[in-house]
């Protein structure tokens, strides 16, 4: 969990190429049947949160749109009942 950066050196100084943010083991995990559609608008992957929050299925779609506007990528790894790790990588 955390941040990592990819860079080259130019004249001895780092030249940032991309930044990756990782948020690990959050929530209750996402069932495999929802992996392919998680980032779709009004995804059926929405379930009540750990505190009973209601989902309408837009959150991950909005996040993906924002990341793509910045020419970045978002992906995840998840195991139901164990948690999910999300990755976001943005170019320089």
Q: Looking at residue 66, what is its pLDDT?
A: 93
The total number of structural domains in the chain stands at 1
- Residue 1 confidence (pLDDT) above 50: no
Domain that holds residue 80: 2-91
CATH code, domain carrying 6 = 3.30.565.10
Q: Looking at residue 30, what is its pLDDT?
A: 86
Task: Say which residues have a Cβ less than 8 Å from residue 57's Cβ, sequence separation at least 6.
Answer: 40, 41, 42, 43, 44, 45, 46
Question: From residue 48, how far is each of 19, 21, 54, 57, 67 by CA, in Å?
Answer: 31, 25, 5, 11, 25
Query: What is the mean predicted confidence (pLDDT) over 34-40?
Result: 90
Predicted confidence (pLDDT) per residue in 43-76, tens digit: 877 666 667 777 777 888 999 999 999 888 899 9
Residue with tokens 């779709």, as numbered in its chain: 40
């Amino acid at each position: 969990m955390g941040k990592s950066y990819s860079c080259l050196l130019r004249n001895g100084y780092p030249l940032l190429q991309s930044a990756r943010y990782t948020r690990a083991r959050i929530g209750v995990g996402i069932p495999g049947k929802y992996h392919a559609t998680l980032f779709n608008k009004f995804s059926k992957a929405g379930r009540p949160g750990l505190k009973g929050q209601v989902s309408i299925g837009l959150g991950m779609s909005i996040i993906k749109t924002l990341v793509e506007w910045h020419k970045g990528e978002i992906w995840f790894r998840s195991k139901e009942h164990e948690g999910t790790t999300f990755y976001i990588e943005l170019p320089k």
